[in-house]
Amino acid sequence: MQTIRRLLTVIPIVVVPAAATAQTAVRFGNESADTTAITNMLVEGAAAHLTSPEEYVAFFGNKFAGTPYGAHTLEGDTEILTVRLDSIDCTTFVETALALAYTVGENRTSWRDFIYNLQRLRYRGGTVDGYASRLHYIADWAVDNIHRGNLTDATRLFPKVNYIVRTIDFMSANADRYPALSDSATLARIRSIEEGYRSHRFPYLKTSDLGSRAMTDALRNGDVVAFVSNLNNLDVTHMGIIVKESPTAVPHVMHASSSQGKVVVESRPLVDFLRKNRYWLGIRVFRLAR
């Protein structure tokens, strides 16, 4: 891990979003290569003239096909907004595609605007304020981004919806797995966040219901899906993006796969992919709120 950190470039940048100016620090894998790649992808996306935010999410997700899987790419001695295009995990894959799609939706093609939007999606209130400000739990990520108008929870729009109640405290219960939680103040902040997710109720689509035509037709190309865990103190353990060749086609999932070591589109349909994993109960579905 120390070797990887030394290879990262940390630079201060000034980001100019729609009508505001904010200064932040960014950790790049390779500053020159990454900023150039981001700009090129945004220019290509703008030229594609797609019809919906979901289509843009799928478009940008496909740009990362074959990218190596890398765990813990956001971790460091201090919490800094991190951009890694050379390796990616399931969450950073989804966040990166969403931030690119959001930026093109604003008719912007600057990597600086992408950085601004990535931070808005990844951190509570869009502000980097230590390890606990990162939206580690998908339940927390959903609540915060939906409240700020970044995302919608599309799960409720499906023909058959179920609800589950969870007390989410996996991180504090397994603090030894998270080096940052060795700091007592950071651990206390995480516990305070978890207090807000005691008996947290959220909608999901059961695996057993996803085989119906009505349910699969309701999924859109580019939908973000979060895989609901069967653990009692955790909500979601994996994320991906739906791939459909047409509105009525069988949905597949594109994701950063740890087992395959890269970003792939699963050959098995979504429902079969879910059935093969006994640790997942179903999915949540999210869309950009524009």
pLDDT in tens, 227-246: 999 999 999 999 999 999 99
91 pLDDT more than 80: yes
Digit-coded pLDDT (tens) for 163-213? 999 999 999 999 999 999 999 999 999 999 999 999 999 999 999 999 999
Amino acid, res. 80 = I
Domains in the chain: boundaries: 2-147, 151-288
Name 9's Cβ contacts closer than 8 Å, sequence gap at least 6.
Answer: 27, 28, 29, 30, 31
17 pLDDT more than 80: no
- 2-147 to CATH, choices 3.50.50.60, 1.10.3670.10, 3.20.20.70, 3.40.605.10: 1.10.3670.10
9 pLDDT more than 50: no
Q: What is the pLDDT of residue 23?
A: 55
Question: How far, in whole angstroms, is CA 217 from its chain's centroid?
Answer: 23
Alpha carbon separation from 265 to 2, 42, 61 (Å, rounded): 32, 22, 10
217 pLDDT more than 60: yes
Q: What is the pLDDT of residue 224?
A: 98
Contact 135, 151 (CB under 8 A): no
CB neighbour class for 1 (10 Å; exposed up to 12, middle 13-18, buried from 19): exposed
CATH topology of domain 151-288: putative xylanase like fold (2.30.260)
More confident position, 21 or 25: 25
Mean per-residue pLDDT for 27-34?
Answer: 95
Mean per-residue pLDDT for 53-65?
Answer: 98
CA distance between the termini of the chain: 38
Please report which confidence band the pLDDT of residue 290 belongs to, taking 50, 70 and 90 as the band edges: confident
Q: Which two three-digit tokens encode residue 70?
A: 């890398």
